[in-house]
């Protein structure tokens, strides 16, 4: 075998000088090895086959392989440095052999289709013979092909993985868009056909979160919890939205668990707030319209409205005037100051709603008036209104049943008289019906006005004149004294004066009026006169004062 040894001590192997039988034997093992490498389709697996089989095929040990992988030069196994001084033989032509003293290294090119070839470096303890060099040279060809095939498969797998990732991301995006489209459709439908409870329930279902609705004052109106889910308070995220972007409509709050997507929850919350805003704005508008129509109808009924007209108008508003009705008037007084018109009307309306009786409510002449189907429980109504106001400083009165629209004005006047009588009594707070008035019903009749005024002048005229001239309160004192049956202790307590002061006033009353308060007939007439005086001079709905009326 002719060996050319230039400065790099490389060796050229002429094919004609090979022992073909030994070369073919080496090629058989190389063929099996190359088939194993070609089946791996993975660069690292190809190198593992090379490390495992190279010594049995070539009689040499693997030092390292240098090749381009994704346009970057790498060396395998890792940690084995390449030697820049080593020549790079042309593919299929030459194998360079170097004597390292205690071993020999053989370097051959690793074939590639395009670009610079790689290098395969093997080590042996004896100089390789021509047949080994021939097999080593062919090994470079087969190794290059196997590495190229593996890199092609790696690129395909990588692209397939990238495509799968892109498809998965696209699928997630499409699913998210479909979910949000479903959210929009759901709340768009509920904004026209649903209720607040429907919106809150759908929001809880779509987000898997608890939902809390509050009114403009921060009072909780609705709460939807998630069944079977308990989450510590510190692990929740609370999201809040102003309903419809209008603070007067209230707020909606979402308690989002950590395992739920916050962006999706915020999206759903925003559009639930829009839907609720439309529902609440519609409810407010409808309530205002119904209230205005109800006020107009009841105002006309109180003034007197023909039956056929009244029935038709009430029927158009869904109220049946064909049944017997109770006429209720309500007057409240409180040290907390002036009460708003809407709050007064709302308090009575909500209290009436608890009795499930259809009714019309309006403010008229300083009173809150309700016309309801007959059967109002006055005690329960007073308790409900008292809870709404937070005190019991008021009166609720009822006239006799109105069996037709024409009787409504009469029932209204009766309710006012009953209210006035209760306000002027020694117990001015509570509820009363006109039927409970007794003698006050006669004293309050407009038809008896002239006789009642004469009764007042005859029995109280001198006392009233004295009170006007001297600024005293002898008539109110006499009224309280007679209301309490002549009991000094009860009367002085009611008037918040000392007993001696009361005794002095009673003596002055006897002296000025000329009437004996121990006479039964005189007591009766004086009592009737004081009650008539209070009823005639008290304005309906007048705020209650500490002074006895």
**pLDDT interval class at 229 (50, 70, 90):** low
**Does residue 172 fall inside a structural domain?**
no
Of 437, 462, 494, the residue that ends a domain is 437
What pLDDT does residue 23 have?
A: 66
- Over residues 250-260, the pLDDT tens digits come to 889 888 887 77
Whether pLDDT at 6 is above 50: no
Q: What is the pLDDT of residue 336?
A: 46
Give 511-522 as a DSSP string.
HHH---TT-HHH
pLDDT at 9 over 60: no
- What H or E segment, with its residue span, contains residue 79? none
CATH number at 480 reads 1.10.10.2840
Band of pLDDT at residue 10, cut at 50, 70 and 90: very low
Q: Look at phi and psi of residue 226 and say left if phi exceeds 0, alpha if psi is from -120 to 50, else beta.
A: beta
Mean pLDDT of 439-456: 61
Q: Which of 515, 532, 392, 399 is nearest to 455 (CA)?
A: 532
Note whether 68 and 151 are same-domain residues.
yes
Boundary (domain end) residue, out of 283, 313, 330: 283
316 is a domain residue:
no
Domain for residue 360, yes or no? yes
User: Which pLDDT band holds residue 156 (cuts at 50, 70, 90)?
Assistant: very high
pLDDT-derived band at 91, boundaries 50, 70, 90: very low
Residue at a domain's end among 414, 437, 460 = 437
pLDDT in tens, 475-525: 888 888 888 888 888 888 888 889 889 888 888 888 888 888 888 777 877
Q: What mean pLDDT is reported for the chain? A: 81
CA-to-CA distance for 37 and 147, rounded, in angstroms? 8
- pLDDT of 468 higher than 50: yes
Count CB-CB contacts under 10 A for residue 118.
Answer: 25
The answer on pLDDT for 439 being more than 90 is no
> For residue 369, what pLDDT is reported?
92
Q: Is residue 179 part of a domain?
A: no
82-96, 147-161, 432-446: which has the highest mean pLDDT?
A: 147-161
- What pLDDT score does 383 carry? 93
Task: Let me know whether 205 and 259 are in one domain.
Answer: yes
C-alpha span between 531 and 459 (Å, rounded): 12
CATH number at residue 241: 3.30.450.40
472 assigned to some structural domain: yes
Are 26 and 139 within one domain? yes
pLDDT value of residue 543 = 40
Both 338 and 429 in one domain: the answer is: yes
Cα 212 to chain centroid, rounded = 4
User: Is the pLDDT assigned to residue 288 strictly greater than 70?
Assistant: yes
Confidence of residue 5 (pLDDT cuts 50, 70, 90): very low
- pLDDT tier for residue 451 given thresholds of 50, 70 and 90: low
Domain that holds residue 102: 20-78+93-156
DSSP tag of 247: G
Query: What pLDDT does 326 receive?
Result: 93
Question: What pLDDT was estimated at residue 82?
Answer: 46
**Same-domain check for residues 377 and 476:** no
Residue 289 lies in a domain: no
461 and 343 assigned to the same domain: no
Both 333 and 416 in a single domain?
yes
330 pLDDT more than 90: yes
Does 358 reside within a domain?
A: yes
pLDDT, residue 548, reads 32
Residues 470 and 402 in one domain: no
Shared domain check, 335 and 256: no
More confident call, 60 vs 13: 60
pLDDT of 307: 85
CB–CB of 441/399 below 8 Å? no
**What percent of the chain has pLDDT above 90?**
14
Under the banding of pLDDT at 50, 70 and 90, the label for residue 347 is: confident
CATH number of the domain to which 331 belongs:
3.30.70.270
Structural domain count of the chain: 4
Nearest-angstrom CA–CA distance, 44 and 295:
89
């Amino acid at each position: 075998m002719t060996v050319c040894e230039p400065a790099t001590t490389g060796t050229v192997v002429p094919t004609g000088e090979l022992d073909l039988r030994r070369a073919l034997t080496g090629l058989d093992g190389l063929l099996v090895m190359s088939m194993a490498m070609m089946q791996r389709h993975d660069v690292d697996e190809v190198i593992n086959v090379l490390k495992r089989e190279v010594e049995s095929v070539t009689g040499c040990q693997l030092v390292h392989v240098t090749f381009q992988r994704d346009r970057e030069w790498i060396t395998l196994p890792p940690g084995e440095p390449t030697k820049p001084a080593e020549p790079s033989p042309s593919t299929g032509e030459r194998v360079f052999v170097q004597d390292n003293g205690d071993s020999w290294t053989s370097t051959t090119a690793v074939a590639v289709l395009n670009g610079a070839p790689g290098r395969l470096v093997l080590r042996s303890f004896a100089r390789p013979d021509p047949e080994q060099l021939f097999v080593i040279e062919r090994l470079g060809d087969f190794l290059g092909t196997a590495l190229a095939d593996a890199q092609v498969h790696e690129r395909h797998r990588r692209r397939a993985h990238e495509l799968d990732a892109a498809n998965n991301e696209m699928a997630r995006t499409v699913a998210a868009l479909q979910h949000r489209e479903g959210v929009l459709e759901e709340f768009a439908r509920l904004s026209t056909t649903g209720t607040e409870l429907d919106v809150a329930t759908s929001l809880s279902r779509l987000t898997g979160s608890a939902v809390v609705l509050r009114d403009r004052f921060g009072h909780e109106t609705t709460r939807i919890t998630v069944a079977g889910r308990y989450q510590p308070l510190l692990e929740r995220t609370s999201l809040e939205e102003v309903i419809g972007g209008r603070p007067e409509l209230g707020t909606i709050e979402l308690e989002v668990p950590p395992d739920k997507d916050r962006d999706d929850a915020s999206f759903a919350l925003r559009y639930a707030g829009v839907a609720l805003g439309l529902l609440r704005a519609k409810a407010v508008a409808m309530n205002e319209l119904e209230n205005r129509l109800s006020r107009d109808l009841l105002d006309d009924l109180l003034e007197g409205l023909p039956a056929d007209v009244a029935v038709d108008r009430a029927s158009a508003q869904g109220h049946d005037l064909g049944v017997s009705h109770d006429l209720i008037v309500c007057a409240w007084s409180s040290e907390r100051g002036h009460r708003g018109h809407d709050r007064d009307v709302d308090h009575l309306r909500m209290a009436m709603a608890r009795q499930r009786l259809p009714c019309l409510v309006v403010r008229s002449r300083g009173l809150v008036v309700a016309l309801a189907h007959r059967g109002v429980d006055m005690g329960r109504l007073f308790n409900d209104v008292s809870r709404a106001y937070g005190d019991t400083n008021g009166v609720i009165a009822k006239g006799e049943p109105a069996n037709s629209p024409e009787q409504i004005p009469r029932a209204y006047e009766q309710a006012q008289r009953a209210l006035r009588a209760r306000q002027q009594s020694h117990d001015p707070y509570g509820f009363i019906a006109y039927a409970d008035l007794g003698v006050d019903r006669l004293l309050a009749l407009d038809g008896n006005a002239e006789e009642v005024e004469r009764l007042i002048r005859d029995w109280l005229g001198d006392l009233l004149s004295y009170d006007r001239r001297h600024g005293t309160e002898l008539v109110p004192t006499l009224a309280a004294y007679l209301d309490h049956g002549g009991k000094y202790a009860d009367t002085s307590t009611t008037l918040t004066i000392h007993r001696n002061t009361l005794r002095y006033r009673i003596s002055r009353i006897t002296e000025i009026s000329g009437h004996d308060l121990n006479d039964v007939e005189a007591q009766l007439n004086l009592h009737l006169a004081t009650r008539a005086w209070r009823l005639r001079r008290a304005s309906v709905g007048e705020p209650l004062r500490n002074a006895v009326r």
